[in-house]
Structure 1
Amino acid sequence: MDALLSEEMWLPANISWARLYASRPDGRLTPQPVHLTMSLACGLAFCLLRYLVETFLLFPLGRRWGLADAPKDAVRPVTPNKRLDAVFRLNRRPTVDQMSALAGELGWSDKSVANWFRRKRNQLKSSTLRKFVESAWFFLHYSCILVYGFAVLVGKDYFWDARYCWIGWPDQAMDADIYWYYMISLGYYWSAMYYIFTDVKHKDFAEMLIHHVVTVCLMSFSWCLNYVRIGALVVLIHDVVDPFMHLTKCLTYASSNTRLRDMMFVVFMVCWIVTRLTIYPFWVVYSAMFHSWAIIGPFRSWYMFNGCLLVLQVLHVIWFYFILRIALSVVTQDPNTKDSRSDSEMSAAEDGQDDKGDSQLKKRL
């Protein structure tokens, strides 16, 4: 434990923990690890706030707009079956041969087993109302935090010149507005790590989980080492695209105005390219790797910090692949090109695979 918390592990040779966490004579804040407890409190507050907003605002609004409160192809619940339930937990779409084997084991027809799995999958689909409410919550949050972030950071010298993220480190104080921006943002990601297991399941679940874990680690890491300035820029840049993405989803679920939806998607795509594929790697990551090297020099935790930044960039590229697929479907009007990011795991694409499986089954009957 001593080695894990040693100054040699985390700090340059000429810097000590005492200097990093020393109180300032002017009374301004210096980041302290104990401050992170406030982010946990903010996370709990976000859980409560989300419950209240969804229950008393978004669900009633969605119902008033006539959004379906049940999946479009919902069916009556399947008859419980321990054997099929056990298989379903491992594989929601067994092959035709596997279903035939199960039919022989249970004394059912092949078609009955296939119908059981189809209906079981349909039970787990999320309703249009549920998807709208989730996206509307994200839109409200990211819109508010984006406005707050710009209001806080636009007057900082490091907002315009990233070298000031490192000049004067570690003797950098911060104002109360940055403290609260950081705690609120980190608190949101604590709540997101809980909700990712209860929200509509997406095909990029693993990528989203990695993103949330890396973000929490990166923000906590940067707070404890007083990398708050560069950390705040990372958070702000990531927040720019999210309101447009979730507004596009809300329009998809609640509006028949496809022109407006497509226009918002184009805005979202342009923002993604500008912020996450241009500004983030060529300004923020560049500064974290090269400006910091020149001003404070590399040390062990420097490599870990930059490694986390690069992991986020890899995720940006992966998600951009999904975005390009959606853009391709819009341009070509190809109904077979699905939004592999926004559709739930029980999506129409999966239904298409079911239809293919049913065709194979019919040939064998």
Structure 2
Amino acid sequence: MEALLNEWLWQEEYWLPPGISWQDIKTKDEDGRFPLPRDLLITLPLAFVFIALRYVFERIIAIPFSKCLGVKDRIRIQAPSIPKLDAFYKHISGQPSQSQVVSLGRQCGLSQRKIHTWFRHRRNQDRPSSTKKFCEASWRFVFYIVSFAAGLGSLINTAWFWDPRECWTGYPKQPVADAHYWYYILELSFYLSLLLSVSVDVKRKDFKEQVVHHIATIFLIGFSYCANYVRVGTLVMLVHDSSDFLLESAKMFHYAVWTRTCDSLFVIFAVVFLVTRLVVFPCRIVHTTMVVSLEFFQPFFGYYFFNALLLVLQGLHIFWAYLILRMVYKFVFTGKVERDERSDEESEVDERDKEEEPEEEEGEHNCEQRKETINPKLTSLANNCVLNNLTNQRNLNSRLRKAR
């Protein structure tokens, strides 16, 4: 398997600058190890370990913690079991067209109003609860804050943390410290676990952008490790983790309806996100990989591939910055953050069903109640009309007498 990968995937001209081969990179050094592609094989089983840890964390820690913070799930009306409607909902669509509603009404012997009500309740049943969303946010919060603290602690004393030019000194023969090796492996394993569980997570408004972000991040981390872009790669991961844990903490307090705490954390997150993603990332990291690196080696396939992935991330940063600035605008002019525009707002289908509508009762009792409500209004209107006519008649008679 390793020989096959070396022949088709790990070719030296793809991953290393001209004139450098895998043989030139040692497997171990007194200052650390030299990265090799086979080191990444451990990330897949670690991704499943992360999924298992998340399952245990959500049930043992996140759910009890959500109750302590006062997270409450909305009580939803359960749609009655109707086999034909259930089959249509699961296999065709959760939002039938008007012609389909008419057809289903004939098949089930129900009115169109009842068909619409059943589908609305059925969609609401599948909407994720606040507790589920809180658990997801708390799991990401724990990982991001631990990852950011560990990454900052391992990088703050390195030369390339303060001077990005040091990322290329001696490249690619740069040993990787054990702390940075595990920083890489655990970050890649975590994003693999997010990609594997994306189908069961809460589907949000920027679902497609999140999938693109995860895929680009996985390729970016994997390639940067193989090509020994580890120094600049650690800076990229640190910049991302610096704001992500703030976002997840704001979500947690949003689900707990701690409005002031949520708003304060959102403002801090917005400032950190805009500074790190729109200033530090392009001006320091992208600039050093696209411009400064050319002073140390000739461009090769990996150079273009790595920078293309960085530009994809920068495009996503601009998209999310636009959503965040919209939120800041709402916060300034309304005084509160209504919803998380970046990634907490759910998909458009769910958004239309966000507010439960009361079920309409039908029958003679409701008709009588409506009549009782309408009749006094009609009587009052009729009385007003009669009084107006009498008043107008008296005024007319008075004018006629004066004229005579």
Task: Answer yes or no: same fold by TM over 0.5.
Answer: yes
Aligned residue for 1:13, secondary structure, equals coil
Match of 1:204 in 2: 206
Question: Take 1:115 and 1:335, find their aligned partners in 2: how far apart are those partners?
Answer: 33
Per the TM alignment, residue 102 of structure 1 is displaced from its structure 2 partner at its CA by 4.1
Asked if the contact 2:188–2:218 (Cα under 8 Å) also holds between the matched residues in 1, the reply is yes
**What is the CA–CA distance in structure 1 between the aligned matches of 2:326 and 2:105, rounded to whole Å?**
38
Partner residue in 1 for 2:32: 28
Runs of at least 5 residues in structure 1 that lack an aligned partner in the other structure: 359-365
Shift in CA distance, 335/57, structure 1 to aligned 2, threshold 3 Å: closer
Distance 1:336 1:59 in 2: 25
Alignment partners' CA distance in 1, 2:179 and 2:9: 32
1:102-113 → structure 2 map (5 Å cutoff): 102-104=104-106, 106-113=108-115
Helix, strand or coil for the counterpart of 1:241? helix
Q: Which residue of 1 is the match for residue 245 of structure 2? A: 243
* Counterpart AA for 2:316: L
Q: Match for 1:7: what amino acid? A: E
- Structure 1 distance, partners of 2:198, 2:66, is 22
Per-residue deviation, 1:39: 2.3
Say how many residue pairs are matched.
352
**Bigger RCO of structures 1 and 2 (CA < 8 A, at least 6 apart):** 1
Query: 2:263 matched to 1:262?
Result: yes
- Alignment CA distance shift 1:336-1:32 (3 Å): closer
Separation (CA, whole Å) in 2 of partners of 1:88 and 1:350: 19
| CA offset digits 1:105-124 (Å, max 9, x no partner) | 65432112211210111011
Distance 1:96 1:339, change over 3 A: farther
Alignment pair present for 1:10 and 2:10? no
> Structure 2-normalised TM-score?
0.79
Query: For 1:319-355, what per-residue CA distance to the aligned partner results, in whole angstroms no more than 9, with x for missing partners?
Result: 1222223223323339997534212337873126997
1:297 counterpart residue number:
298
Equivalent residue number for residue 63 of structure 1: 67
* CA distance in structure 1 between the aligned counterparts of 2:246 and 2:48, rounded to whole angstroms: 26
Query: Is this contact kept in 1: 2:71–2:257, CA < 8 A?
Result: no
Once the two structures are superposed, what CA deviation does each residue of 1:38-96 show, in whole Å capped at 9, x if it has no partner?
A: 3234323322222222111111122244422x4x1411144244466445655433444
Structure 2 portions without partners, runs of 5+: 361-404
The one of 115, 123, 126 equivalent to 1:124 is: 126
Report the structure number with the largest CA radius of gyration: 2
Please tell me whether residue 318 in structure 1 is matched to residue 319 in structure 2: yes
Output the amino acid matched with 2:52: L
Instruction: Show the counterpart of 2:46.
Output: 42
Q: Which amino acid aligns with 2:181?
A: Y
Hey, what's the Cα distance between the residues in 2 that align with 1:214 and 1:336? 30
One-letter identity of the residue aligned with 2:58: E
SS for the counterpart of 1:117 is: helix
CA distance in 2: counterparts of 1:350 and 1:172, whole angstroms = 54
Q: Deviations over 1:242-273 (max 9, x none)?
A: 111111111111243x2222111110000111
Opposite residue 263 of structure 2, the aligned amino acid is D
Counterpart of 2:101 (choices 99, 103, 107) is 99
Distance, in Å, in 1 between the alignment partners of 2:85 and 2:353 is 23
1:186-239 per-position Cα deviation (integer Å, ceiling 9, x unaligned): 111111112222222211111111111111111111111111111111111000
Conserved? CA contact 1:43–1:190, under 8 Å: yes
CA distance in 1, matches of 2:290, 2:337: 42
Partners of 1:148 and 1:331 in 2: how far apart? Answer: 35
Question: Any conservation in 1 of the 2:247–2:266 contact (CA below 8 Å)?
Answer: yes
Q: Is the contact made by 2:191 and 2:214 (CA closer than 8 Å) also made in structure 1?
A: yes
- The question of whether the paired residues in 2 share the 8 Å contact of 1:325 and 1:339 is answered with no
The separation in 1 between residues aligned to 2:215 and 2:52, in whole angstroms, is 21
Match of 2:161 among 152, 159, 169: 159
Tell me which amino acid in the other structure corresponds to 1:130: K
Identity level (%): 34
Q: Report SS of the residue matched to 1:57.
A: helix
1:181 corresponds to 2:183: yes
Cross-structure match for 1:54: 58
Aligned to 1:234: 236
Q: Within the alignment, does 1:288 sit opposite 2:292 as a pair?
A: no
CA distance in structure 2 between the aligned counterparts of 1:259 and 1:353, rounded to whole angstroms: 23
Distance 2:156 2:128 in 1: 40
